[in-house]
């Protein structure tokens, strides 16, 4: 990943700063300018799984969000599975009478997903993504 947001196993969070915010940097190394938060990060849900992910040097994607009603920031961690789910063989997929295909129509400004049966017939429409 691009390591814009990093959280150590001890809960120390650092964020890469864009050029416009370099003056706020409290950590500089190797040409990078980062801000290190004083408060430690703790995940109240799946903490052990997150820690195993970080210690195993596997990818973690972090997302920062702000809840205006609570005047509070949240950090969400998305984990990469240690071992990906097995993908069925092509022949297994062909043998499955209930097999479905997700089709995505790429349009300017939005995606239009649909569910097709094994013959390519429309089974259902899914919400459009803008």
CA distances in angstroms from 88 to 85, 93, 101, 116, 120, listed in the order given: 9, 7, 14, 18, 20
Question: Is pLDDT above 90 for 112?
Answer: no
> pLDDT (tens digit, 9 = 90+) per residue, 53-107?
999 888 899 999 999 999 999 999 999 877 777 777 777 767 777 777 888 888 8
Average of per-residue pLDDT across 18-43: 91
- Whether the model clears a pTM of 0.75, i.e. scores above it, the answer is no
Q: Positive or negative, the Cα torsion across 80, 46, 61, 35?
A: negative
């Amino acid at each position: 990943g691009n390591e814009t947001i990093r959280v150590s196993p001890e809960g120390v969070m650092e964020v890469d700063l864009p050029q416009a915010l370099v003056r706020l940097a409290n950590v500089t190394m190797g040409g990078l300018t980062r801000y290190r938060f004083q408060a430690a990060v703790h995940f109240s849900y799946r903490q052990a799984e997150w820690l195993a992910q970080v210690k195993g040097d596997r990818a973690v994607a972090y997302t920062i969000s702000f809840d205006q009603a609570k005047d509070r920031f949240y950090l969400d961690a998305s984990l990469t599975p240690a071992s990906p789910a097995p993908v069925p063989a092509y022949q297994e997929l062909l043998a499955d009478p209930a097999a479905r295909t997700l089709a995505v129509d790429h349009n300017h400004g939005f995606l239009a997903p649909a569910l097709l049966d094994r013959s390519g017939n429309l089974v259902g429409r899914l919400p459009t993504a803008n």
